[in-house]
Amino acid sequence: MNSSRILRTLGATLSVAALAFTAACGSSAPAEKKASSTESSSKLQTVTAGKLTIATGNPAYTPWVIDDKPESGKGFEAAIAYKVAEKMGFKKSDVKWVRTTFDSAIAPGAKDWDMNIQQFSITPERKKAVDFSPSYYNSAQAVVVRKDSKFANATTLAELRKATIGAMVGSTSYDFAKKLIKSDIKTFNDNAVLAQAVDSNQIDALVIDVPAASYIVESGQVKNGKVLGQIPGSDDPNGTGIVLPKGSSLTPAVTKAMNELIKDGTIKKLQDKWLAAYTTDVPTLK
Protein backbone atom coordinates (compact mmCIF):
# COMPACT_ATOMS: atom_id res chain seq x y z
CA MET A 1 0.00 0.00 0.00
CA ASN A 2 2.77 2.40 0.84
CA SER A 3 4.44 1.51 -2.46
CA SER A 4 1.20 2.27 -4.30
CA ARG A 5 0.91 5.66 -2.63
CA ILE A 6 4.49 6.44 -3.48
CA LEU A 7 3.90 5.54 -7.13
CA ARG A 8 0.70 7.65 -7.28
CA THR A 9 2.49 10.61 -5.67
CA LEU A 10 5.43 10.26 -8.04
CA GLY A 11 3.10 10.03 -11.03
CA ALA A 12 1.23 13.18 -9.98
CA THR A 13 4.50 15.02 -9.48
CA LEU A 14 5.71 14.00 -12.93
CA SER A 15 2.39 15.06 -14.49
CA VAL A 16 2.58 18.51 -12.89
CA ALA A 17 6.19 18.86 -14.03
CA ALA A 18 5.23 17.80 -17.54
CA LEU A 19 2.40 20.36 -17.63
CA ALA A 20 4.72 23.10 -16.37
CA PHE A 21 7.28 22.19 -19.00
CA THR A 22 4.62 22.19 -21.72
CA ALA A 23 3.30 25.58 -20.56
CA ALA A 24 6.79 27.01 -20.51
CA CYS A 25 7.46 25.77 -24.02
CA GLY A 26 4.11 27.10 -25.17
CA SER A 27 4.85 30.60 -23.88
CA SER A 28 8.37 30.79 -25.27
CA ALA A 29 7.65 29.39 -28.75
CA PRO A 30 5.58 32.36 -30.00
CA ALA A 31 8.25 34.79 -28.75
CA GLU A 32 10.94 32.89 -30.65
CA LYS A 33 8.74 32.77 -33.72
CA LYS A 34 8.04 36.49 -33.51
CA ALA A 35 11.72 37.37 -33.24
CA SER A 36 12.53 35.10 -36.17
CA SER A 37 9.68 36.60 -38.22
CA THR A 38 10.86 40.15 -37.54
CA GLU A 39 14.42 39.36 -38.57
CA SER A 40 13.23 37.58 -41.72
CA SER A 41 10.91 40.47 -42.59
CA SER A 42 13.76 42.94 -42.27
CA LYS A 43 15.91 40.88 -44.63
CA LEU A 44 13.15 40.60 -47.20
CA GLN A 45 12.34 44.31 -47.15
CA THR A 46 15.78 45.55 -48.15
CA VAL A 47 17.90 44.98 -51.24
CA THR A 48 20.74 43.66 -49.10
CA ALA A 49 19.81 41.73 -45.97
CA GLY A 50 20.47 43.71 -42.81
CA LYS A 51 21.51 46.81 -44.77
CA LEU A 52 19.65 49.90 -45.94
CA THR A 53 20.80 50.93 -49.42
CA ILE A 54 20.30 54.66 -50.01
CA ALA A 55 20.92 56.31 -53.37
CA THR A 56 21.74 59.92 -54.14
CA GLY A 57 22.99 61.92 -57.12
CA ASN A 58 26.37 61.71 -58.81
CA PRO A 59 27.64 64.16 -57.83
CA ALA A 60 25.61 65.23 -54.81
CA TYR A 61 25.80 68.93 -54.06
CA THR A 62 26.20 71.18 -51.04
CA PRO A 63 24.14 72.02 -49.00
CA TRP A 64 22.26 68.77 -49.61
CA VAL A 65 25.40 66.67 -49.22
CA ILE A 66 28.65 68.27 -48.11
CA ASP A 67 31.75 67.58 -50.24
CA ASP A 68 29.86 64.90 -52.21
CA LYS A 69 30.27 62.50 -49.25
CA PRO A 70 26.83 61.32 -48.09
CA GLU A 71 28.43 58.73 -45.82
CA SER A 72 29.65 61.59 -43.60
CA GLY A 73 26.07 62.47 -42.69
CA LYS A 74 26.87 66.13 -43.36
CA GLY A 75 24.43 68.14 -45.44
CA PHE A 76 20.65 68.47 -45.22
CA GLU A 77 19.69 65.34 -47.16
CA ALA A 78 22.57 63.19 -45.88
CA ALA A 79 21.55 64.06 -42.31
CA ILE A 80 17.88 63.33 -43.02
CA ALA A 81 18.74 59.95 -44.54
CA TYR A 82 20.56 58.83 -41.40
CA LYS A 83 17.78 60.12 -39.14
CA VAL A 84 15.19 58.15 -41.12
CA ALA A 85 17.43 55.06 -41.08
CA GLU A 86 17.82 55.36 -37.30
CA LYS A 87 14.06 55.62 -36.80
CA MET A 88 13.70 52.44 -38.85
CA GLY A 89 16.16 50.59 -36.62
CA PHE A 90 19.28 50.75 -38.80
CA LYS A 91 22.63 51.78 -37.37
CA LYS A 92 24.86 54.16 -39.32
CA SER A 93 27.10 51.22 -40.19
CA ASP A 94 24.06 49.45 -41.71
CA VAL A 95 23.60 52.20 -44.32
CA LYS A 96 25.10 51.65 -47.77
CA TRP A 97 25.27 54.54 -50.27
CA VAL A 98 25.03 54.20 -54.05
CA ARG A 99 24.66 56.72 -56.88
CA THR A 100 22.01 57.12 -59.58
CA THR A 101 20.90 59.62 -62.17
CA PHE A 102 17.85 61.73 -61.38
CA ASP A 103 15.79 60.40 -64.29
CA SER A 104 16.45 56.71 -63.66
CA ALA A 105 15.41 57.05 -60.04
CA ILE A 106 11.87 58.18 -60.87
CA ALA A 107 11.40 55.89 -63.87
CA PRO A 108 9.13 52.84 -63.53
CA GLY A 109 10.68 49.45 -62.85
CA ALA A 110 12.78 47.51 -60.36
CA LYS A 111 15.50 49.29 -58.39
CA ASP A 112 18.76 48.15 -56.81
CA TRP A 113 18.33 50.52 -53.84
CA ASP A 114 15.82 50.91 -51.01
CA MET A 115 15.56 54.71 -50.90
CA ASN A 116 16.70 57.57 -53.12
CA ILE A 117 17.18 61.14 -51.91
CA GLN A 118 18.18 63.96 -54.27
CA GLN A 119 15.62 66.78 -54.15
CA PHE A 120 12.74 64.90 -55.75
CA SER A 121 9.63 67.04 -55.95
CA ILE A 122 6.48 65.06 -55.23
CA THR A 123 4.18 65.15 -58.26
CA PRO A 124 1.08 63.13 -59.24
CA GLU A 125 2.83 61.95 -62.41
CA ARG A 126 5.89 60.66 -60.55
CA LYS A 127 3.71 58.94 -57.95
CA LYS A 128 2.44 56.66 -60.71
CA ALA A 129 5.96 55.22 -61.06
CA VAL A 130 7.44 55.43 -57.55
CA ASP A 131 6.50 55.90 -53.89
CA PHE A 132 7.33 59.00 -51.86
CA SER A 133 7.88 59.77 -48.21
CA PRO A 134 6.10 62.78 -46.72
CA SER A 135 7.71 66.07 -47.76
CA TYR A 136 10.77 67.24 -45.83
CA TYR A 137 11.27 70.56 -47.67
CA ASN A 138 9.38 73.04 -49.85
CA SER A 139 11.80 74.96 -52.04
CA ALA A 140 11.45 77.91 -54.39
CA GLN A 141 13.42 78.28 -57.64
CA ALA A 142 16.06 80.91 -58.37
CA VAL A 143 17.91 82.31 -61.39
CA VAL A 144 21.72 82.42 -61.61
CA VAL A 145 23.59 84.62 -64.09
CA ARG A 146 27.11 85.96 -64.53
CA LYS A 147 27.76 89.44 -63.18
CA ASP A 148 29.01 90.51 -66.62
CA SER A 149 25.83 89.28 -68.31
CA LYS A 150 23.53 91.79 -69.98
CA PHE A 151 20.82 90.32 -67.75
CA ALA A 152 22.77 90.85 -64.51
CA ASN A 153 20.63 93.82 -63.46
CA ALA A 154 17.25 92.33 -64.36
CA THR A 155 14.63 92.62 -61.64
CA THR A 156 11.64 91.12 -63.46
CA LEU A 157 10.84 87.85 -65.20
CA ALA A 158 9.81 89.82 -68.29
CA GLU A 159 13.40 91.02 -68.74
CA LEU A 160 14.59 87.41 -68.84
CA ARG A 161 12.38 86.31 -71.71
CA LYS A 162 15.08 87.23 -74.23
CA ALA A 163 17.73 85.29 -72.31
CA THR A 164 18.89 81.77 -73.13
CA ILE A 165 17.91 79.83 -70.03
CA GLY A 166 18.80 76.30 -68.96
CA ALA A 167 17.58 73.80 -66.38
CA MET A 168 18.10 70.14 -65.57
CA VAL A 169 16.00 67.76 -67.63
CA GLY A 170 13.02 66.25 -65.84
CA SER A 171 13.31 68.64 -62.90
CA THR A 172 10.77 70.89 -61.22
CA SER A 173 13.19 73.74 -62.01
CA TYR A 174 12.60 73.10 -65.70
CA ASP A 175 8.83 72.98 -65.20
CA PHE A 176 8.71 76.30 -63.35
CA ALA A 177 11.13 78.00 -65.77
CA LYS A 178 9.01 76.92 -68.72
CA LYS A 179 5.76 77.89 -67.03
CA LEU A 180 6.78 81.22 -65.49
CA ILE A 181 9.56 82.64 -67.69
CA LYS A 182 9.49 81.30 -71.26
CA SER A 183 8.56 78.18 -73.17
CA ASP A 184 11.97 77.59 -74.76
CA ILE A 185 14.19 76.24 -71.96
CA LYS A 186 17.44 74.40 -72.74
CA THR A 187 17.86 71.09 -70.90
CA PHE A 188 20.98 69.56 -69.35
CA ASN A 189 21.56 66.11 -67.89
CA ASP A 190 22.82 67.31 -64.52
CA ASN A 191 23.42 70.50 -62.58
CA ALA A 192 27.22 70.37 -62.92
CA VAL A 193 26.94 70.58 -66.72
CA LEU A 194 24.26 73.22 -66.33
CA ALA A 195 26.56 75.42 -64.22
CA GLN A 196 29.38 74.95 -66.73
CA ALA A 197 27.06 76.11 -69.50
CA VAL A 198 26.49 79.43 -67.74
CA ASP A 199 30.13 79.73 -66.78
CA SER A 200 31.28 79.23 -70.40
CA ASN A 201 28.62 81.57 -71.90
CA GLN A 202 26.71 78.78 -73.64
CA ILE A 203 23.57 80.07 -71.93
CA ASP A 204 22.74 83.32 -70.17
CA ALA A 205 21.10 81.94 -67.04
CA LEU A 206 20.11 78.79 -65.19
CA VAL A 207 17.16 77.93 -63.00
CA ILE A 208 17.63 75.75 -59.92
CA ASP A 209 16.35 75.55 -56.34
CA VAL A 210 17.39 78.44 -54.07
CA PRO A 211 19.89 76.55 -51.83
CA ALA A 212 21.67 75.06 -54.85
CA ALA A 213 21.71 78.45 -56.63
CA SER A 214 23.44 80.05 -53.67
CA TYR A 215 26.00 77.27 -53.48
CA ILE A 216 26.75 77.35 -57.21
CA VAL A 217 27.72 81.01 -56.84
CA GLU A 218 29.52 80.64 -53.51
CA SER A 219 31.60 77.68 -54.70
CA GLY A 220 32.60 79.36 -57.96
CA GLN A 221 30.99 76.79 -60.23
CA VAL A 222 29.79 79.86 -62.08
CA LYS A 223 32.73 82.23 -61.80
CA ASN A 224 31.73 85.82 -61.16
CA GLY A 225 28.22 84.46 -60.68
CA LYS A 226 25.20 86.06 -59.11
CA VAL A 227 21.89 84.81 -57.75
CA LEU A 228 19.59 87.15 -59.60
CA GLY A 229 16.62 86.28 -57.41
CA GLN A 230 13.83 83.87 -56.60
CA ILE A 231 11.08 83.20 -59.11
CA PRO A 232 7.75 84.31 -57.62
CA GLY A 233 5.15 81.57 -57.57
CA SER A 234 7.76 78.82 -57.78
CA ASP A 235 7.33 77.44 -54.27
CA ASP A 236 6.96 73.69 -54.59
CA PRO A 237 3.33 73.04 -53.53
CA ASN A 238 3.80 69.35 -52.74
CA GLY A 239 7.32 69.54 -51.40
CA THR A 240 10.34 67.28 -51.71
CA GLY A 241 10.33 63.65 -50.61
CA ILE A 242 12.42 60.50 -50.44
CA VAL A 243 11.74 58.18 -53.39
CA LEU A 244 11.11 54.45 -52.94
CA PRO A 245 10.34 51.75 -55.53
CA LYS A 246 6.63 51.57 -56.36
CA GLY A 247 4.83 49.44 -53.81
CA SER A 248 7.90 49.08 -51.61
CA SER A 249 7.31 47.27 -48.32
CA LEU A 250 9.51 49.93 -46.74
CA THR A 251 7.16 52.81 -47.65
CA PRO A 252 5.04 52.58 -44.46
CA ALA A 253 8.16 52.52 -42.25
CA VAL A 254 9.76 55.46 -44.07
CA THR A 255 6.48 57.39 -43.90
CA LYS A 256 6.20 56.78 -40.16
CA ALA A 257 9.83 57.76 -39.59
CA MET A 258 9.52 61.00 -41.57
CA ASN A 259 6.28 61.99 -39.86
CA GLU A 260 7.92 61.48 -36.46
CA LEU A 261 10.94 63.57 -37.48
CA ILE A 262 8.65 66.36 -38.67
CA LYS A 263 6.51 66.21 -35.53
CA ASP A 264 9.42 66.25 -33.06
CA GLY A 265 11.10 69.21 -34.81
CA THR A 266 14.13 67.33 -36.12
CA ILE A 267 13.51 68.30 -39.77
CA LYS A 268 13.18 71.99 -38.84
CA LYS A 269 16.44 71.85 -36.87
CA LEU A 270 18.22 70.26 -39.83
CA GLN A 271 16.84 72.94 -42.17
CA ASP A 272 18.13 75.66 -39.88
CA LYS A 273 21.52 73.97 -39.57
CA TRP A 274 22.20 73.18 -43.23
CA LEU A 275 20.02 75.47 -45.37
CA ALA A 276 19.65 78.82 -43.59
CA ALA A 277 22.93 80.19 -44.93
CA TYR A 278 21.82 79.46 -48.49
CA THR A 279 18.24 80.69 -48.35
CA THR A 280 18.28 84.00 -46.47
CA ASP A 281 18.62 87.42 -48.11
CA VAL A 282 17.80 86.11 -51.60
CA PRO A 283 15.70 88.78 -53.40
CA THR A 284 12.50 87.94 -55.26
CA LEU A 285 12.06 88.88 -58.90
CA LYS A 286 8.90 90.60 -60.07
CATH of the domain at 263: 3.40.190.10
* Same-domain check for residues 166 and 243: no
CA 93 to chain centre: 18
**Rounded-to-integer distance, Cα 244 and Cα 67, Å:** 25
The verdict on residue 45 lying in a domain is: no
* Same-domain check for residues 203 and 153: yes
* Same-domain check for residues 211 and 146: yes
The verdict on residue 191 lying in a domain is: yes
**Rounded-to-integer distance, Cα 194 and Cα 57, Å:** 15
pLDDT of residue 191: 87
Range of the domain at 113: 52-138+239-279
* Same-domain check for residues 199 and 252: no
**Rounded-to-integer distance, Cα 63 and Cα 137, Å:** 13
| H or E element, residue 141 | strand 141-146
The verdict on residue 23 lying in a domain is: no
| Domain C-terminal end among 208, 230, 252 | 230
pLDDT of residue 42: 53
The verdict on residue 286 lying in a domain is: no
The verdict on residue 258 lying in a domain is: yes
* Same-domain check for residues 203 and 265: no
* Same-domain check for residues 58 and 185: no
* Same-domain check for residues 145 and 220: yes
pLDDT of residue 112: 95
The verdict on residue 252 lying in a domain is: yes
* Same-domain check for residues 210 and 151: yes
The verdict on residue 1 lying in a domain is: no
**Rounded-to-integer distance, Cα 245 and Cα 233, Å:** 30
* Same-domain check for residues 214 and 100: no
**Rounded-to-integer distance, Cα 15 and Cα 222, Å:** 85
Closest CA to 264 of 117, 87, 90, 92: 87
pLDDT along the chain (286 residues), means of 10: 38 38 37 33 72 94 94 98 95 96 92 96 94 95 96 96 94 94 94 93 95 92 94 92 96 96 97 92 92
pLDDT of residue 248: 95
Closest CA to 117 of 165, 70, 159: 70
* Same-domain check for residues 160 and 120: no
Number of structural domains in the chain: 2
* Same-domain check for residues 110 and 172: no
The verdict on residue 6 lying in a domain is: no
pLDDT of residue 36: 30
* Same-domain check for residues 222 and 262: no
